[in-house]
């Protein structure tokens, strides 16, 4: 599992680094990379993958340390401090898959137009390949469940922070996108198309984000019923988080207590 988590982290980093370098070269070194929601999501996905690899290594070391002291491998106390990185991972475990699905659907369904020209490799990586990595990760390599209100809140908080940034950037004097437009996306031109911008954000938050959330929740439920049927039968894989997130050190109550 440690090797698998390291592989996912390296692949996610490589894909996002490719997107970053491509955009920096295309835009003559101007960091427009940081204004796009796609790249915010890419950075969140990389952070998730790296933190998950790190947490898995920490858990493996802790397990080995406990086993060396007690051959039974049972820890008799719950005093292990929770690293801040685990709390960050706990927030990102929902943001990464849900936001990746969200940007993939919105980009290809709403933003991309045929007259933009041939589909570029970096667009496929940013709006597809990274989601594919996340999808495989959640379907086969971990037992995170996404069904709590806190998970959904994290996804909405991520979106809300970006919307605030998007609005603020639009009204910064001289701020443009890479084409010279005084907005980031045509559908969020808050200066000239306020009603369109509001309508798009409302639709995204009311329809696309909840749909992406429910699709991801369903994925984790199908995964658990396929790979961990005994846990589902016992109530550990029914979406309540009990026992399903121990990879990152959760105690089943959503506060990452049992880091082992």
Report pLDDT digits (tens) over 180-206: 999 999 999 999 999 999 999 999 999
Dihedral angle computed from the Cα positions of residues 127, 133, 139 and 142, in that order, rounded to the nearest 10 degrees: -130
Is the pLDDT at 54 greater than 50, yes or no?
A: yes
Task: Report the C-alpha gap between 59 and 2 in whole angstroms.
Answer: 10
Q: What would the mean pLDDT of 116-140 be, rounded to a whole number?
A: 91
- Residue 220 DSSP one-character state: H
What per-residue confidence (pLDDT) applies to 233? 57
HSE (side-chain half, CA atoms, 13 Å) at 61 = 7
* Two tokens, residue 135: 């999808």
Poorest-pLDDT segment among 124-128, 215-219, 225-229: 225-229
> Which two three-digit tokens encode residue 104?
């993939």
CA torsion, points 70, 71, 75, 79, in degrees to nearest 10? 40
Q: What is the mean pLDDT of the chain?
A: 84
Evaluate whether 24 touches 33 at the Cβ level (below 8 Å).
yes
Of 132, 98, 80, 66, nearest to 214 (Cα)? Answer: 98
CA 84 vs CA 6, 55, 155: distances in Å? 20, 11, 19
Q: Which of 32, 134, 42 is nearest to 93 (CA)?
A: 134
| pTM recorded for the entire structure | 0.83
Tokens 């609005």 correspond to 167
**Does 195 or 61 have the greater pLDDT score?**
195
| Distance separating alpha carbons of residues 260 and 258, to the nearest angstrom | 6
Q: What average pLDDT does this structure show over 89-101?
A: 94
Pick from 61, 59, 57, 51: which is nearest to 12 by CA?
51
Residues 250/55, Cβ–Cβ less than 8 Å = no
pLDDT tens, position by position, 148-163: 788 999 999 999 999 9
């Amino acid at each position: 599992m440690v090797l698998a988590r390291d592989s996912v982290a390296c692949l996610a980093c490589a894909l996002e680094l490719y997107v970053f370098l491509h955009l920096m070269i295309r835009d003559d070194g101007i960091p427009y990379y940081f204004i796009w929601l796609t790249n915010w999501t890419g950075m969140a996905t990389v952070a998730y993958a790296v933190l998950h690899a790190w947490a898995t290594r920490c858990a493996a070391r802790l397990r080995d340390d406990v086993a060396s002291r007690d051959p039974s491998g049972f820890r008799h106390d719950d005093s292990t401090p929770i690293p801040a990185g685990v709390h960050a991972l706990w927030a990102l475990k929902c943001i990464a898959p849900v936001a990746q699905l969200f940007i993939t659907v919105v980009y290809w369904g709403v933003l991309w137009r045929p007259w933009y020209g041939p589909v570029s490799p970096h667009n496929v990586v940013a709006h597809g390949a990274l989601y594919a990595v996340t999808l495989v990760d959640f379907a086969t390599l971990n037992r995170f469940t996404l069904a709590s209100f806190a998970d959904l809140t994290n996804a909405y908080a991520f979106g809300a922070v970006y919307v605030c940034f998007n609005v603020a950037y639009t009204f910064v004097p001289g701020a443009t996108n890479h084409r010279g437009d005084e907005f980031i996306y045509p559908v969020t031109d808050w200066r000239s198309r306020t009603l369109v911008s509001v309508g798009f954000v409302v639709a995204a938050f009311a329809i696309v984000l909840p749909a992406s959330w429910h699709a991801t929740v369903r994925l984790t439920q199908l995964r658990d019923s396929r790979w961990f049927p005994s846990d589902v039968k016992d109530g550990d894989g029914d979406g309540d988080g009990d026992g399903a997130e121990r990879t990152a050190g959760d105690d089943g109550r959503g506060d990452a207590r049992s880091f082992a």
